[in-house]
Structure 1
Amino acid sequence: MDCHLVALLGSPRREGNTAILLQEAIRGSEDAGCNVELIWVPGLQIKPCMEIFVCKQKPVCAIKDEMQVYYDMIRDADGLIVATPVMTMGVPGALKSFIDRFQVFYMAKYERRDPLVTPDQRKVRKMLLLSIAGMNIKNLFAGLLQTMHAFSEIIDCPLWDKLLRDDMDTIKDITTRPELLKEAYAKGYALGEAIKRAKSEVALAVE
C-alpha cells in the first residue's frame, strides 16, 4: 500500500539540530515503505495571510504566490511530519505564516461545511510533530502545541504523536544524544506503518 508523506522543516537552519531530528524520522518512514517529500518552509517565496477572505466563498487564496502548490500537496498527502524549534515560546515566523495561509482549508471546513479532505482521507491521515527548545522551563511547548493542534484539525490531519526535547542550550549538539535520534527514527517508522495499516482498512471497507 503506497504511502506519501510531506515533511515540513520549520527551522531557518537547514542542517541544524531540528533538521537532523527530522532526517531520522524521514529515514524511519521511508524504511516503513513511505515516500517523503521535504519542504524547507523558511525558503518558500510566500506572503503571510492578509485576511482578504476570498476563501470564504471558494477554495482559493487571493494572494498569488507558491501556496497553491502546497495546498494541493498537503491535501493529497497521507500524513505529515512537522519539525520545528520553539522560538519566542511558539512557532517560528516562516512556519507560522505558512500555517496561517491554510485559512483556505479553514473556511472550506468550518464556514462552508465542505472540507477539502474527504472522510476516507481523514481516517488515514496522521501528523507527527518533532520539536526542540533551548530553555528548560515549565510549559515551554504549550504555545507550539496549541498552534499545531489547531493546524492539524484545520487540515484534517490529526496530531498523532510527538517528540519534544527541551534544554538544547545545554545539550547544543543533538548528535550527542543518540537515544533522541533513535526515538525520532522509531516514531517515523511507526507513523508510516500506522498510515499504511489505516489505508488498508479503508480500502477493505470500500470493497
Structure 2
Amino acid sequence: MTPKVIGLLGSPLPEGNTARLLARAVQGTKDAGCTVELVPVTSLDFQGCQEMFFCRDHETCILDDDMQQIYPKFVDMDGLILATPVMTMGIPGTLKAFMDRFQVFFMAKYLRNQSLISPDRKEKRAGLFICISGMDIPEVFVGAKLTTRAFFDIIDCQYRDELLINGMDTIRDIATRPELLDAAYKKGFAL
C-alpha cells in the first residue's frame, strides 16, 4: 500500500519561501513513492475551538466546517510535513487555531483512552517540521517547536526530523540558497 503523507502549509503566503521549501520536501516524498495531499491551512474555512467539549464523548467536533473533512485525512495519513514561518516567536494564528481544533484527537487519546490511531500504526506515523524565521536569534524556534511537538503527539505522529532556517530577512529569497531547498528535498525523501 502506498504511504499517504499530508503537506500542511501554515504560511499565509501560498508562493512564499515556506511554500517553496514545502514543495521541495513534498517532491522528495513523492519521489520516495508516497502520495501527498497538500493542505494550505489559510485556505480552509473553519472556526477556532469553542471548547464546547462535544468531542469529549464523540469522535468529531460539533462545529460544522472544513475540519470535518480534515479529521479523516489525519487519521488515515502515514506521515506529515508541517511547514510554517515563525511569527511572534511562535506559529501563525491560523495554524494554531487549526491545531487547537484537534481536541477531537486529544479527547480520544487522553480522556477516553481510545486513540483514533490504531496501536499498530502509531509508531509508523512520521513527521517532518520545516520552519523559517526572519530573525537570527538563538531561541527563535523554541515556541514553534514546542507547539509542533505537542500537536504531533496529540495526533500520534512521531516528530522524526526538522529543517529550521533562520535569518530569512537576510536571505529574502530561498531560491538563492539551493542547498536549503536540497535539504528540504532530502528530508522529504527520508520521511
Alignment TM-score, normalising by the size of structure 1? 0.91
* Matching residue of 2:50: 50
In the TM superposition, what is the alpha-carbon distance from 1:2 to its structure 2 partner?
1.1
Instruction: Summarize deviations over 1:177-205 as a string: whole Å, max 9, x none.
Output: 111001000000000xxxxxxxxxxxxxx
Hey, what's the Cα distance between the residues in 1 that align with 2:123 and 2:97? 27
Amino acid in the other structure paired with 1:115:
S
* Matching residue of 2:14: 14
User: Are the equivalent residues in 1 in contact too, given 2:18–2:132 (CA < 8 A)?
Assistant: yes
Aligned residues with identical type, % of pairs: 53
Q: Secondary structure at the match of 2:58?
A: coil
Hey, what's the Cα distance between the residues in 1 that align with 2:151 and 2:99? 7
**Cα root mean square deviation, aligned:** 0.7
Hey, what's the Cα distance between the residues in 2 that align with 1:111 and 1:51? 14
* Matching residue of 1:5: 5
In the TM superposition, what is the alpha-carbon distance from 1:127 to its structure 2 partner?
0.4
Hey, what's the Cα distance between the residues in 2 that align with 1:167 and 1:106? 34
In the TM superposition, what is the alpha-carbon distance from 1:123 to its structure 2 partner?
1.9
Report the count of equivalent residues.
191
Amino acid in the other structure paired with 1:3:
P
User: Are the equivalent residues in 1 in contact too, given 2:123–2:158 (CA < 8 A)?
Assistant: no
Hey, what's the Cα distance between the residues in 2 that align with 1:54 and 1:30? 37
Matches within 5 A, 1:145-164: 145-164=145-164
* Matching residue of 1:169: 169
* Matching residue of 1:186: 186
* Matching residue of 1:69: 69
Amino acid in the other structure paired with 1:5:
V
In the TM superposition, what is the alpha-carbon distance from 1:135 to its structure 2 partner?
0.3
User: Are the equivalent residues in 1 in contact too, given 2:117–2:156 (CA < 8 A)?
Assistant: yes
Hey, what's the Cα distance between the residues in 1 that align with 2:158 and 2:124? 10
Hey, what's the Cα distance between the residues in 1 that align with 2:98 and 2:121? 22
Are residue 128 (structure 1) and residue 128 (structure 2) matched?
yes
Hey, what's the Cα distance between the residues in 1 that align with 2:60 and 2:22? 30
* Matching residue of 1:195: none
Matches within 5 A, 1:39-118: 39-118=39-118
Amino acid in the other structure paired with 2:148:
M
Which of structure 1's runs of 4+ aligned residues deviate more than 3 A? Answer: none
Amino acid in the other structure paired with 2:78:
D
In the TM superposition, what is the alpha-carbon distance from 1:48 to its structure 2 partner?
0.2
Amino acid in the other structure paired with 1:102:
F
Hey, what's the Cα distance between the residues in 1 that align with 2:74 and 2:161? 18
Unpaired stretches in structure 2, ≥5 consecutive residues: none
Question: In proportion to residue count, which structure has more helix?
Answer: 1
User: Are the equivalent residues in 1 in contact too, given 2:84–2:91 (CA < 8 A)?
Assistant: yes
In the TM superposition, what is the alpha-carbon distance from 1:176 to its structure 2 partner?
0.5
Hey, what's the Cα distance between the residues in 2 that align with 1:166 and 1:175? 15
User: Are the equivalent residues in 1 in contact too, given 2:75–2:117 (CA < 8 A)?
Assistant: yes
Unpaired stretches in structure 1, ≥5 consecutive residues: 192-207
User: Are the equivalent residues in 1 in contact too, given 2:5–2:80 (CA < 8 A)?
Assistant: yes
Are residue 29 (structure 1) and residue 29 (structure 2) matched?
yes
In the TM superposition, what is the alpha-carbon distance from 1:38 to its structure 2 partner?
0.2
Which range moved further: 124-133 or 55-64? Answer: 55-64
